[in-house]
Structure formats: C-alpha cells, structure tokens
Amino acid sequence: MTDAGTPSSARHWVRPSVQALNAYHVPDAGGFIKLDAMENPYAWPDELIDEWLRVLRSVQMNRYPDPAPGALQGLLRERLGVPPDMDLLLGNGSDELIQLVALGVGGAQRTVMAPEPGFVMYRHCAVAAGANYVAVPLEGESYGLPRERMLDALREHRPAVVFLAFPNNPTGNLFDRAVVDAVIEASPALVVIDEAYAPFAGVTYLDRLHECPNLLVMRTLSKMGLAGLRLGCLCGSRAWLAQIGKLRLPYNINVLTQASVAFALRHWDVFEGQAAWIVRDRERMLRSLRALKGIVAYPSAANFILFRVPAGRAGGIFEGLRSEGILVKKLDPEAPLLADCLRVTVGTPRENRCFLGALARLL
Ligand SMILES: *Cc1c(COP(=O)(O)O)cnc(C)c1O
C-alpha cells in the first residue's frame, strides 16, 4: 500500500511556499448588489447584443484559436494608444501576464518587488514562481509611493521585476509620477506599470516606453466592462516580450474572447461612455461618503473608493451591508495600513444610493 494521494503526502510534496499561499477567495455573489470586484455595472444595449450574437454565429468552435490575432491586436493598439513600434503580448486577463512575468523574469534566486498595500496577484505569482517577494510599505495615510524607501529597497534587494499599479489597487490613488520615474530610473531590471484602471484615470506610461527600455505597461479590458472575457495586454519592446511570450501557452486567448473583444473594440464608444458615467458617479460617491460622520474616504482615480470606518467596526459594517444585500470588499485586517478599511466599487446610480443609504443607517 502506498500513501500517494493521501492528505499527508500532499502535505509532504506540495512545495511549502505553495502550501503557505492563501487561495484567491471569490465570495458567492448571487442576488447581491455587487460592489466588490471593480466590475462595470452596465449591461450591453439590446441592439449591441443582437449584433454580437450574429458575429458569434460565424465563430468556429472546432478550430484552435489564432495564436497571433493580427486584426484584434490592431484594434487594441488603436483603442489603447499603443505606440506603433512597440509589441503586444496578450494574456488571459492581465493576471496571466503577471504570472508570465513572474515566471520569466522572477523565479528561483530572484526577487519580485511591489509596494503594499497593493494588488495581491504580484505576491501570489511571485511565490508561485519560486521567487523571493519583497513588499515595500506605502506611506501611512496618504498611500503615496515612498521615494527613499523604494530606492533603498532597490539597492538592497536588486529585484528582477518591480510591479507598480497606477492607479493603485486597493487604495485608488495615482502615485507621484516623479517618484515612479525615479523607480524606473533606479531599477536594475524590469518595471511593470499595471494600468488596469487607466480608463478612469486618463493618464498612462505608454508614451514613456521609448525612453525607458526597462519598462513594460500592462492593460486589461476587465475594468472597462469585459471582465468575463479575460483579456489583458502587455505593451513594450520586442526584446522583453519575445522572451516572456515563450512562456505563454499557445492558445491562451479562446475563439469566443477573440471574436467578442474585436466586436467590443469596434463599439468602443459605448464602453467609453460607460466609463465616463462611472467617473462622474465616483466623484458623487466620494462627496457623499465624506459627508458621512465617522467615514474617511480616500481620493480615487479608479472605479472604486477606499474608505475607513470608525475603529473596530469594519467587520460589523461589512456584515451589515451584506445582510442588506450589498457586497463590498473588506480589507481590514489584511494589512496595518488597511485597518478599519473597506473598498466599494462605483456601481450604477441606483446601486450607489442603496449602498450609501445602508451605510448611513449602519453608522
Ligand atoms: C483587476 C486588476 C488586475 C487583473 O485584471 P484581469 O485582467 O481581470 O486579470 C490587474 N491589476 C490590477 C491592479 C487590478 O486591480
């Protein structure tokens, strides 16, 4: 009798660093007003759905997808504003691209660095790749990128890759560009600027790719309204992307995603219109949150707002909102800088009113 397959042998053979990871938890959201995951709350107009379904009729499900979809890449370049002489690498969501960078540039004996609080996938993918992960704490209260602390950490750890989310998740702020520039300049290796929230921030590093040969810019269509399709995009020089691209599994972007994203990009004005509503409603939500006694709401350039509730009440308020059918993200007690913090995604005006009403009652 062998013990292969028993729980004790999984504990023996699964790498300790993987055993120490927490699985990425996605709560059951059935029936909730879902303000926890930075999704676009707007459905497609009916005419658009009819036209899209006509496009899908011609998709050949029995064939492998095009591994290098030229027309789709052309549309992406145009809509995102990718400089013509820069390359693109497409991922099954930008999460997959983070994983490819961590595998190809990180890995054993190497360090991956990111400021924290930050996007959890940087740590997750670094650990999965067997790299050493170094978190640099943001400034208390302002969540700014700390210049000296970053430069010291670069000198001390010499990371193979630094991830910077611009705007940052879960804090929502844009880091000071002068500090980001100093990090790019001082970095001995690769810097990836993750612009998942660019549609709501209106600023980008895409136009800096020429000057910064150690820079890659990452985008996703998820927050713009296509989270279900899973398409992310890494932009930069061929020197980096041709190497990292070798790790991509050949057919990572399926035929339905390719056809549907190309269709959506041809109707990009619809999504840009929705993003403009979200930005408008973000400012309203920020004012309303700040008008609530006991709430500190942080400025945001993204489609969500980080806010702090009175000490010790994050759990109770989170549960209270949930019992009223509203799902937000509880960040307390993830990190000391996030004590008493919750994060809310900007929804439709009606969803935002429900959330604000429930929060006011709970306070
Ligand atoms: C949501 C998010 C992503 C992941 O996006 P996908 O393309 O859906 O995988 C990447 N980076 C940041 C900072 C995010 O908040």
* Residues in Cβ contact with 166 at an 8 Å cutoff, skipping those fewer than 6 apart: 174, 175, 180, 193, 194, 195, 201, 203, 205
Q: Look up the pTM and report it.
A: 0.95
- In this prediction, residue 29 carries a pLDDT of 81
Q: How many CB atoms are located within 10 Å of the residue 311 CB?
A: 10
Concatenate the DSSP letters of all residues of 118-163 into one string: --HHHHHHHHHTT-EEEEEEPPTTT----HHHHHHHHHHH--SEEE
Q: Which atom of ligand 1 is nearest to the CA of 37?
A: 1
What CA–CA distance (Å, rounded) separates 54 from 127? 43
Mean pLDDT (whole number) for 243-259: 96
196 lines ligand 1 (CB under 6 A): yes
Mean pLDDT (whole number) for 243-251: 96
Phi, psi of 117 (to 5 degrees): -65, 135
Centre of ligand 1 to C-alpha 309, Å, is 26
Chain segment 54-63, per-residue pLDDT in tens:
999 999 999 9
Residue 225 DSSP one-character state: I
Per-residue pLDDT at 2 exceeds 70: no
- In this prediction, residue 280 carries a pLDDT of 98
220 lines ligand 1 (CB under 6 A): yes
Q: What percent of the chain has pLDDT over 90?
A: 90
What CA–CA distance (Å, rounded) separates 308 from 141? 10
Per-residue pLDDT at 3 exceeds 70: no
Residue nearest to atom 1 of ligand 1 (CA): 196
- In this prediction, residue 323 carries a pLDDT of 96
What CA–CA distance (Å, rounded) separates 8 from 326? 40
What CA–CA distance (Å, rounded) separates 218 from 309? 32
Centre of ligand 1 to C-alpha 99, Å, is 12
- In this prediction, residue 4 carries a pLDDT of 60
- In this prediction, residue 1 carries a pLDDT of 47
Task: Tell me the pLDDT band of 68, cut-offs 50, 70 and 90.
Answer: confident
Mean pLDDT (whole number) for 262-283: 97
- In this prediction, residue 82 carries a pLDDT of 97
- In this prediction, residue 234 carries a pLDDT of 98
Phi, psi of 210 (to 5 degrees): -60, -45
User: Environment class of residue 296 by beta-carbon count within 10 Å: exposed (0-12), middle (13-18) or buried (19+)?
Assistant: middle
User: Environment class of residue 363 by beta-carbon count within 10 Å: exposed (0-12), middle (13-18) or buried (19+)?
Assistant: middle
For residue 346, give the nearest of 288, 302, 310 by alpha carbon: 302
Per-residue pLDDT at 294 exceeds 80: yes
Helices 268-290 + 255-266 axis angle, to 10: 80
232 lines ligand 1 (CB under 6 A): yes
Chain segment 6-64, per-residue pLDDT in tens:
768 998 999 998 898 888 888 888 889 999 999 999 999 999 999 999 999 999 999 99
Chain segment 119-158, per-residue pLDDT in tens:
999 999 999 999 999 999 999 989 999 999 999 999 999 9
What CA–CA distance (Å, rounded) separates 102 from 218? 14
- In this prediction, residue 178 carries a pLDDT of 98
